[in-house]
Each structure stands twice: as structure tokens, then as C-alpha cells.
């Protein structure tokens, strides 16, 4: 089976590298005139996924917005993940789980790959209990051709104090984590590895050297739109990771619903912008131009 990286790279060229966040929050359900319940979740997700159709590479459901309704919400998460896969997009389950190794094995079986509870193509994880504790998730991802995104430099200001704290050797926590990710990927072989990283698009341009420490990783870049980062900043900030970045947008697109036309227009706009951010000026533009002609002619 093709790896997550191979599948993403192909979809990024033929669809767009955009990662569409599927965040059915109470605020958005209200804005859309939907009930704040499991039925509202279902209608919201159905409309978003119909509008996204085959336009984007990755769709990222945030589990918290589903878990808030208990078993009924989890059922809607399963419905959404199945629909994402049936539309040919990659399903990145944003669960940000992080626990001791034995428990991570449970989360891995819940989230990752065919035969798991939710069948994600990739998952987000948090390393606060230690990078090594996440190994069961890494192992399952390798075995099943899935992906893992480890939070390194989060998009929110509250993350700075913890992630910028220094190890005795002078590296920040985020830098040491980036190095752990790169060592792990390098031990698996050359090229982009199974471990991706989360680096917020809100990152201060003065701090972007952290991205240079991740030469073998896909990089999920949330924070575009509602959190203040512009898509136009992603290309310059993430230049050293050109062709490996998934800019992620949730509210700035979702607030355009429930009109299917307005929603699709918003996805189209961010999709185009994500393409430019991804490959501006690179040789990837040629293959993209080729694929895009086919898409436009659909
Ligand atoms: O892992 C994530 O996706 C993530 C990491 C991070 O550092 N910051 C962050 O906002 N996120 C998620 O990305 C989404 C951002 O939503 P918007 O700000 O509405 O685009 C939410 O689902 C967050 O949980």
C-alpha cells in the first residue's frame, strides 16, 4: 500500500495541499441555523463534505467537537471519517492524544488505519508524556502506511512558554522534539518519513529556523484565517519545507456555510491560495499546472 506521504503528495498535485478542518463547534452550528446536537453535527458535516467533494487533499475532523455529544457524537465522527475516505481525501484525525506507551497502543488502534475504530489515514499526537511514549502510534503508522503529526510549535500563544523552555543542552523543547522527529525519520530511510510535525502558521518569522530542523517531515500548518495568519505568509515562512506543507483552515472556510455555493467558493479560494503557498516558484509548479488543467476541465 502507498504510504501516507505518497498519497498526500499525489493528492496535493491533483487536488490541492489544503487541509480543510472539520470543526462542528457550537458557534458554527448556531451560525448555520442548526441544532447543537448529533443531528446538527451530521447535517453540518454532510454539507461541508459535499462542498469539499474532490477539491482538497486532506480533511481534518477535530475529535473534541464530536466527543462533546458522547457516543452519538462518536458515531457522527465515524460517519464523517468514512465519507472523507469515500471521497478519496485523506482523513487526518485531529485527536492530539498523548499518554504512556501502553495507552498509546489503545489510541493507535482507535484512530489509525484500516481495521481501527475510526480508520484515520493520519492522526495528531502530543508529546508531553515524552516522545518515546508515542512509539506504539509510530509503529502502527509504519505498518499500515498511515501518518502521524507530532505537535512541535503550536499556533496558539499559550504554547510558547512551554515549547520555548530550554533543555540543559540549550535547545528549546520544540527544537529537541523536531530533532527527535528527524532522527526517527532518518532511521527509517531517506526521503519524507512517517512522522510529520505541527508548526502553526502563526509562527513569528524570526522563529522559523525550527522548520529547517524538519527536513524529512510533512508539516501541518494550522492557524490560517481565524487565528490571524494569512495564507500568503505560508509560502515565505515555510520556504525550507516547500512541497511538504499542509496549510490548514477551519473557521475561515466553515463560517461561509450553510450556503453550498458560498462554502464551495471559500474552499476554492483557499485551495488556490494553498497551491501558490505550496509550490510558488518551484519545479513542482510544472506538474501542478498539468494536473490543474485536468481539474479545471472537469
Ligand atoms: O493540530 C491541529 O490541527 C492544531 C494545532 C495547533 O497548533 N493549533 C490549532 O489550532 N490546531 C487545530 O486547528 C484548527 C484551527 O481552527 P481555525 O483556527 O478555525 O482554522 C482547530 O481544530 C485546532 O484544534
Q: Is residue 295 part of a domain?
A: no
Q: Is the ipTM of this complex over 0.85?
A: yes
Question: For 239-267, what is the mean pLDDT?
Answer: 97
Range of the domain at 150: 4-289
Model confidence at 105, pLDDT cuts 50, 70, 90, reads very high
Q: How many domains does the chain have?
A: 1
3-state secondary structure (DSSP) of residue 187? helix
Q: Is residue 294 part of a domain?
A: no
Query: What atom of ligand 1 comes closest to residue 96's alpha carbon?
Result: 1
Residue 208: is its pLDDT beyond 90?
yes
The per-residue pLDDT for range 9-33, each reduced to its tens digit, is 999 999 999 999 999 999 999 999 9
Residues whose beta carbon lies within 6 Å of some atom of ligand 1:
21, 23, 62, 94, 96, 124, 151, 154-156, 198, 200, 222-223, 225-227, 248-251
What CA–CA distance (Å, rounded) separates 130 from 151?
A: 12
Query: What atom of ligand 1 comes closest to residue 226's alpha carbon?
Result: 18
Residue 131: is its pLDDT beyond 60?
yes
Task: Write the CATH number for 46.
Answer: 3.20.20.70
Which of 11, 78, 90, 92 minimizes the C-alpha distance to 45? 78
Q: Is residue 36 part of a domain?
A: yes
Q: Is residue 81 part of a domain?
A: yes
Whole-number Å distance, alpha carbon 271 to ligand 1 midpoint, is: 17
Q: Is 105 a catalytic residue?
A: no
Question: For 222-228, what is the mean pLDDT?
Answer: 97
Q: Is residue 144 part of a domain?
A: yes
Whole-number Å distance, alpha carbon 197 to ligand 1 midpoint, is: 13
Q: Is residue 163 part of a domain?
A: yes
Q: Is residue 209 part of a domain?
A: yes
The per-residue pLDDT for range 138-176, each reduced to its tens digit, is 999 999 999 999 999 999 999 999 999 999 999 999 999
pTM: 0.95
Whole-number Å distance, alpha carbon 244 to ligand 1 midpoint, is: 18
The shares of helix, strand and coil residues in the chain, as percent rounded to the nearest 5, are 50, 15, 30
Amino acid at each position: 500500500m502507498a504510504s501516507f506521504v505518497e498519497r498526500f503528495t499525489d493528492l496535493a498535485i491533483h487536488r490541492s495541499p489544503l487541509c480543510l478542518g472539520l470543526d462542528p463547534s457550537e458557534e458554527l452550528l448556531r451560525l448555520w441555523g442548526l441544532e447543537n446536537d448529533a443531528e446538527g453535527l451530521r447535517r453540518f458535516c454532510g454539507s461541508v463534505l459535499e462542498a469539499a467533494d474532490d477539491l482538497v487533499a486532506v480533511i481534518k475532523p477535530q475529535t473534541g467537537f464530536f466527543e462533546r455529544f458522547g457516543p452519538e457524537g462518536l458515531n457522527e465522527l465515524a460517519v464523517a471519517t468514512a465519507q472523507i475516505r469515500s471521497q478519496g481525501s485523506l482523513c487526518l484525525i485531529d485527536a492530539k492524544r498523548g499518554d504512556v506507551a501502553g495507552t498509546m497502543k489503545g489510541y493507535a488502534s482507535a484512530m489509525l488505519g484500516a481495521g481501527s475504530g475510526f480508520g484515520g489515514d493520519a492522526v495528531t499526537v502530543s508529546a508531553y508524556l515524552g516522545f518515546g511514549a508515542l512509539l506504539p502510534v509510530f509503529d502502527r503508522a509504519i505498518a499500515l502506511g498511515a501518518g502521524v503529526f507530532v505537535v512541535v510549535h503550536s499556533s496558539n500563544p499559550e504554547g510558547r512558554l512551554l515549547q520555548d523552555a530550554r533543555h540543559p543542552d540549550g535547545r528549546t523543547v520544540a527544537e529537541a522534539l523536531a530533532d527527535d522527529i528527524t532522527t526517527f525519520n532518518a532511521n527509517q530511510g531517506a526521503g519524507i518519513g512517517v512522522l510529520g510535525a505541527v508548526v502553526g502558521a502563526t509562527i513569528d518569522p524570526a522563529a522559523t529556523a525550527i522548520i529547517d530542523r524538519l527536513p524529512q517531515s510533512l508539516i501541518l500548518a494550522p492557524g490560517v484565517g481565524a487565528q490571524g495568519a494569512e495564507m500568503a505568509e505560508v509560502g515565505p515562512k515555510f520556504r525550507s519545507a516547500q512541497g511538504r506543507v499542509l496549510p490548514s483552515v477551519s473557521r475561515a472556510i466553515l463560517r461561509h456555510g450553510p450556503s453550498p455555493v458560498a462554502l464551495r467558493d471559500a474552499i476554492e479560494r483557499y485551495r488556490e491560495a494553498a497551491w501558490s503557498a505550496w509550490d510558488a516558484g518551484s519545479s513542482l509548479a510544472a506538474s501542478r499546472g498539468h494536473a490543474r488543467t485536468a481539474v479545471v476541465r472537469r
